[in-house]
Chain A
Amino acid sequence: MILREVEDPDLIAGTKRGKVEAYNVLVSRWEKRVFNYLLRLVGDREDAMDLSQEVFLKAYLNLNRLQDASRFAPWLFRIAHNEAFSHLRRKRPETEWDPQAGETASQPRLEPIETALAVSAALSRLPDEQKEAVVLKIYQGFKFEEIAEILSCPVSTVKSRLYAALDSLKETLAPINARGVE
């Protein structure tokens, strides 16, 4: 008998048959990625944790709508994207953009290394849409087409957001890089 690793589509099928344990395995595979995606968008651990739970609950309740199990990742991140931007819209009045914010309140708790702080600050200064494109591409490794599916926009929009973000990051991080801080 040839043993093979249980793959996501198997777990999705099991969940659709009512096996909660199958879904828990699926969650354990994806929770860290979803949490980090949300953390980099919303910048707060507790908020990212609450949103992660919401994302997995909504995914569970709507799993029957997922037609192609091989597209689980973009589908899951689409839900995460919706949750994150609903959250950002709700929080916007109390978190008006502050040019110093990236250097003070929220960033140091992520990583106490200067480079990481600089990256974190540079990311926080990007518009939400550009920041999300960077997170999905650089940190989550999705292809352009998958990002377009997650964001529900054309590939050309994904590219323009990502390229603009890279230009901004180059400009912000180049001086630090030139000082040799790593």
Chain B
Amino acid sequence: MNCSQFDWKGYFLGETSGMDRTGAEEHLKICPHCRQELDRLRSIRAMMETLPEEAPPRRIAFVSDKIFEPRGWARFWNSAPRLGFASASMLAAAILAHGWLMAPRPQTPPPDLAAVRAQLEAEVTRNMQAAIDKAVSDAVSRQARQAADLVAAAEQRMEERRRMDTIAFEEAFQVLQKRMNVYRASLGFGSAQ
């Protein structure tokens, strides 16, 4: 058998099986050239295996974070029973739709349009009158409130002015009394109380 028929790299890498592998092993027994080729590959591998695996310098770990956690509906949607739920929901919806569409409808007489229109007009008129009455009533009570506020403010101002006049009169009287006492003292009389 010709040496070039064998894929020694594939054999060396463990990617040959079945008849190919058996044929290759039979050939190796009689072909020193192919044995040498395979030995070279194996020695390369032995050298490569001297390069050790390294441990990561830090451990990788994730903490529970609400941002990354799937939401409730997403968790459910990704769960195994979702297809069962979906098909059951579709079946239930189909039964309900069929029941609603096929149910007999009660026969109702056609409505009297004139009566309906009269009823609507009466309703509109009634509502409009009520709205007008309410608006008038609101305006009247608002004006009464404003008038009462004005009267109260005027009375307060008059009271304040009266109080100020009284204070001014008392102060003027006291000044006059002091002057009278001074005059009396200069004439040799006792001071007035």
Contact = CB atoms under 8 A, between A and B. Distances in A.
A20 B60 contact: no
Interface of B: 9-10, 13, 15, 40-41, 43-48, 50-65, 68-70, 74-75, 78-80
A32 B56 contact: yes
Given A119-B50, A143-B15, A166-B9, A27 B56 contact: no
A177 B51 contact: no
Contact of B47 (A48, A60, A139, A177): A177
Nearest to A177: B43
Interface SS of chain A:
helix
A49 B57 contact: yes
B55 A32 contact: yes
Contacts of A120: 51
A153 interface: no
A163 B9 contact: yes
A182 B50 contact: yes
A31 B60 contact: yes
A166 B47 contact: no
B60 A166 contact: no
26 contacts: A16-B79, A17-B70, A17-B79, A18-B75, A20-B63, A20-B64, A27-B61, A28-B59, A31-B60, A32-B55, A35-B56, A39-B54, A46-B57, A60-B62, A113-B50, A115-B50, A116-B52, A120-B51, A138-B45, A139-B53, A143-B15, A159-B10, A163-B9, A169-B44, A177-B43, A177-B47
A103 B82 CA distance: 57
Interface in A15-52: 16-18, 20, 23-24, 27-28, 31-32, 35-36, 39, 45-46, 48-49, 52
Given A64-B78, A177-B43, A20 B51 contact: no
B50 A24 contact: no
A130 to B, nearest CB: 13
A137 interface: yes
A88 interface: no
Contacts of B44: 166, 169-170, 173-174, 177
Contacts of A139: 48, 51, 53
A165 B78 CA distance: 42
Nearest to A33: B53
Contacts of B57: 45-46, 49
A49 B58 contact: yes
Contacts of A45: 54, 57
A113 B48 CA distance: 12
A166 B47 CA distance: 13
B53 A16 contact: no
B60 A56 contact: yes
Contacts of A49: 56-58
A116 B41 contact: no
A35 B13 CA distance: 23
A166 B44 CA distance: 8
Given A32-B53, A120-B51, 9 more contacts: A17-B79, A27-B62, A36-B54, A57-B62, A64-B78, A143-B15, A166-B44, A174-B40, A182-B47
Contact of B41 (A28, A35, A166): A166
